[in-house]
Amino acid sequence: MILKWQKVADKHAWILAASKESRNGVPFHVCLRMIEAELLAVEQRYPVDARRVIFTGLSGGAMVSHAVAKFHPQLVSAVVINTGMMEDSFMTEDYPSEKLAVFLASPTDFRYKEMQRDRAFLESHRWKTKWIEFPDGHTLAPDNLCEQAAQWLEENLH
């Protein structure tokens, strides 16, 4: 993810950090504890604007981004979901509201319908969303679409 987002981060003067511990098979409660500690370490070292923290991931990493938004909403302003879905159990009435989400989706991805469902769910909780499609299936979105996502976030983050 660092390599994928590096040019975008440089262009927008973003601080980019990634977890090497967050991956499929790590229980959410363990992963979230690690991510919270990693974010705190970044915030202590760099001038992070807490109102502009964005989480992203591909597939299982996207699910972790949704998990951070659900269980630690104070840590996240936006998510960029790249061919990934939300865990069904996250969809509760008390889900956080009024954040931003970009969906990098592929109609040929096996998670496409779940991503559409997730977008509708977030919008029902007053999230502002952006839907961006690409044709390549369950893979990272092309660089130009990551830039498109970043531009939309820049226009909408307060």
Q: Name which of 118, 119, 111 is nearest 84 in CA terms.
A: 111
Confidence of residue 28 (pLDDT cuts 50, 70, 90): confident
Q: Name which of 124, 104, 14, 29 is nearest 68 in CA terms.
A: 29
Using one digit for the tens of pLDDT, what is the confidence trace for 55-65?
A: 999 999 999 99
Q: Token pair 């104070």 is at which residue?
A: 74
Average pLDDT (81-99) is: 97
What pTM, to 2 d.p., does this model score?
0.94
Angle between helices 143-156 and 2-12 (to 10 degrees): 50
DSSP for 4-30 reads HHHHHHHHHT------SS--TTS-HHH
3-state secondary structure 46-102: CCCCHHHCEEEEECHHHHHHHHHHHHCHHHCCEEEEECCCCCHHHCCCCCCCCCEEE
Number of domains in the chain: 1
Using one digit for the tens of pLDDT, what is the confidence trace for 31-62?
A: 899 999 999 999 999 999 989 999 999 999 99
Domain that holds residue 35: 2-156
Chain-centre distance for alpha carbon 153: 11
Chain-centre distance for alpha carbon 138: 16
| CATH number where 136 lies | 3.40.50.1820
Using one digit for the tens of pLDDT, what is the confidence trace for 121-155?
A: 999 999 999 999 999 999 999 999 999 999 999 99
